[in-house]
Chain A
Amino acid sequence: MAGQMVINKRVKYRPSVKEAGIPGVLLMTEDKFTFTPNDPRSLARLEVDFRSIKGHMVSKDGSKDALLNLKYDIEGKSRGYIFEFDNFPDRNACRDFVGKILGKIQAMGSSGQNAQTVSAKSAAPVRGEQLSTKEMERRMKLLREDSELQKLHKQLVMSNVLTEAEFWSTRKDLLEADAQRTSKQRSGFKSAMLADVRPLTDGRSNKVTFSLTPEIIHQIFSEKPAVHQAFLSSVPSRMTEKDFWTKYCRAEYLRKTRNRMAAEAEAAEDEELAVFLKHDDILANEIRRKVRRVDPSLDMAADLGDDYMHLPDHGILRDGNKETSDLENEIPVRTFAHDINRHAAVVLEGRALDVELGDTRTVAEELARSKQAELATETSDENIDRERLERVYRMTEIDDLHDPQKLPFAPLCIKDPREYFDSQQANALKALRDTGSGTKPINLSAEEAYNFVMDQISEVLSSGLSDPVVQPETALKVLNGLSQQLSSTKYHFGKNPQESIFDGLPRKDKDELLHHWSSIQELLRHFWSSYPITTAYLYNKVLRLKDAMTDIYHKLQKLKDSAQSDFRHQISLLVQPMLQALDAAFAHYDMEQLKNSNKSRNTPNGFVQQA
């Protein structure tokens, strides 16, 4: 850092947003800022430590006032010191400065002194965290948005279990995702129709005004390839851009007013103008190409009359007139339906241009380029024809006239059903002897067994049934045992998918469990990723992590023991996996420790190393 950085600006201090500012001077150093009012009698003198500042906000560049709001908390309520700057550059300089300082304070944690001793202890090179303000802001934003994360951050980083960098290194994806989210969304075409290049008549003179914006021009180029073509070929070689658009607007006007005679006359006179009025060949080609790709089984000719356009009293009203299609004219009439279809097609294709809309010429060229690329990727006509034929063949195929389709398959043949259903006695016996020998006596001959059973049957036959069937005490015992078994919670646990054990817990325990769980996860992730320990830095980190985990372990034990009797079982169930995960980590730590101590003991007198 290049010495003490200081910022000194002329500002107005506003005690609240509405009030007028008190003019004065704002002086910012690395640890505090002071405001000295110009009027020495004023009481609005400020001297504030940056540590008490929780964040800062600014008004947007170009808004009415250049404001900087330094937020602080008083009794849990958020307040702010609001400064009004003379201009935006001054404000921005201050903003960046404050951002840097707040970032540094954040990085150091609440106790900067401690952090230094810890980093001094760890032998790894302490990289001063040279973070851009942007990065810092992103982190702050994430912390602000996610209270879970904030809690975790507070617990682990503030208590020096993890350093700031360690904490964030596992969350790079979060930071990146946040960065990506801010990237600009591309806008497509408006879905509003271009009918809006309406002539504006002022009513007094005969002048008609068209207004074209770059947006509209782009749209015209996309929707009317002929105009696009004409523009590319004639501007600026033959006429200026202004002349071109004048001509275009004139043609549009003629079309609008339906002055057919006039239009024809003009077209005959001026061939450039005729381009705009004539049928658009490029468009027609494109349409033809598209029609070829329509499902061949669809009979479009049959649907031709379905629009009722030819019948009297049918049709579309546009600009107060009814459109009728008559095709005999030399200059074809563009119908509303044409317009709508074309517009819809263009909107759906989307805007593929990356250039800024502004210079008409570049827009036109860029559009031409993208069109060409599009054409190149499309399959040639020949291919399409073949494909079409194949499709027609497939669609008109009559199944009944074909052989049944034979799919290649291998029939299932079970060679010997006995192998499937019967037992392989020898193997089974072996298995049985292996598993069952412990539970029953083997040295029992069939003879003996059958005789025994027969004896028992005849015994029952001769002596009759016992009376009572069950001893009352036994019956009571069974009854109690069964009902207890049925009513115990163990049987209802997890049987109902709608109710979760977790939701039944008291809120406090629930929160505590969740918090412990997330911090354990974080600690364990760092713990396991530190192995194998290669540097002293990692060694220290593991030590720190282990201590923190032991801490949580004790807390969990306490939580388990202090739980109310109703919930003790549930809580212990939930805590168990956490304890197990921690135990595994401790066991690993101890084992590594043991291995290390063995190694170090071996080293001095191990002659292998000396040789």
Chain B
Amino acid sequence: MASKLYTDDVSLVVVLLDVNPFFWGGALKKTTTTTNSPSVLSFSNFLNHVLPFLNSILLLNQLNQVVVIACGANTCGYIYDSSETKTSEAGVGGSGRMPDLCERVLGSLEEFVVNDQRTGWGADPTAANAASGMLSGSLSLALCYIQRVLRGGLLHPQPRILCVQGSPDGPEQYVAVMNSIFSAQRSMVPIDSCVIGVQHSAFLQQASYITGGVYLKPQQLDGLFQYLSMVFATDLHSRNFIQLPKPVGVDFRASCFCHKKTIDMGYVCSVCLSIFCKQHKKCSTCGSEFNQPHLVPISTSEQK
């Protein structure tokens, strides 16, 4: 691998798109009730902002690579990889009405949504079931992809992950999301987040804070493209010279393992570090028994 090309201005951007139908459906309901307020965005408008942004990343450097991962209600999957198109059919086909990238993305997006619906067919049909998207799954996919690119191939681009998320956090994914965040931190992959939902996302706040990415919650959603291109388009090297939004406060609260509630204060297993909202006699994760403190030293010495 000595011939690998190390550059500081070539980026590998993995974009996690929120395609959770329940989130966008909710947005639809709101748009029908309130007339076109700037804080609510329809899915078509969203695509109208994101697709040009993806294109502009590719335009910034010829070697830049963009991977799009859709993050649905039941599944998540790769829907676009700029490196594949380049090799197979560069510029061939397409109606010409819009860039090749957009057509491909939209095409695989349709497939993805159909597949996602089929996967969740038998499940609970109410919205609450999957109100939160598969953030943990898509983060894992992104990290795996990045690892594959970094370990093989001739290029060594600067990888980063951009989460464009609207769905609220799923506290039940807490452990999985935190694990992904820590592995991203370990492999030095910053996670940028652009939250288009109503609430702040504690997961993404922590993700960006821990991995050194940028967390942004745009106020003017009809100017989403402007936000994306201003804040998230620059490569990692250039970020050193640019003043980017810094987090004012990060919500560091954890979810408990027993009820998956977000808690301010709780109990931590001294053996496996599981978090609980109530005191237990026995850790439900690793089975350690929490003895009365004064009994411990006596029993250990007698066993010996």
Residues of A near any B CB (own CB < 8 A):
408, 410, 412-415, 419-421, 423-425, 427-429, 431-433, 436, 439-450, 452-454, 456-461, 464-466, 469-471, 474-475, 477-479, 481-482, 485-487, 490-491, 495
Contacts and interface: CB of A to CB of B under 8 A. Distances in A.
B298 interface: no
Contacts of B28: 452
Contact of B173 (A419, A423, A471): A423
A449 B47 contact: no
B186 interface: no
17 contacts: A410-B271, A412-B272, A412-B286, A420-B285, A423-B260, A432-B131, A432-B132, A439-B168, A440-B23, A453-B25, A454-B110, A456-B44, A464-B97, A469-B52, A469-B225, A479-B226, A486-B245
Contact of A459 (B44, B113, B127): B44
A429 B259 CA distance: 10
Contacts of B90: none
Given A424-B260, A449-B25, A481 B126 contact: no
B303 A408 contact: yes
A459 B98 CA distance: 13
Contacts of A433: 128
Interface in B264-278: 271-272, 274
Given A479-B226, A495-B246, A456 B42 contact: yes
Given A457-B110, A461-B110, 14 more contacts: A414-B285, A415-B286, A420-B274, A432-B132, A436-B128, A446-B73, A449-B127, A452-B21, A453-B24, A464-B97, A470-B49, A478-B220, A486-B243, A490-B248
B225 A419 contact: no
A471 to B, nearest CB: 7
A439 B198 contact: yes
Nearest to B127: A444
Contacts of B288: 410
What are the nearest 8 A-B pairs in CB distance?
A: A423-B172, A449-B25, A449-B21, A428-B172, A478-B223, A456-B43, A478-B226, A474-B223
Given A419-B284, A436-B168, A469-B48, A446 B120 contact: yes
A548 B175 CA distance: 54
B209 interface: no
A22 to B, nearest CB: 76
A421 to B, nearest CB: 6
A453 B113 contact: yes
B34 to A, nearest CB: 13
Contact of B304 (A408, A415, A474): A408
A479 B229 CA distance: 11
B43 A457 contact: yes
Given A415-B287, A457-B109, A474-B220, A441 B226 contact: no
A431 B169 CA distance: 12
Contacts of B127: 440-446, 449
B227 interface: yes
B285 A419 contact: yes
* Listed residue (A427, A442, A443, A456) with the most chain B CB atoms within 10 angstroms of its CB: A456
Given A427-B259, A456-B42, A471 B26 contact: no
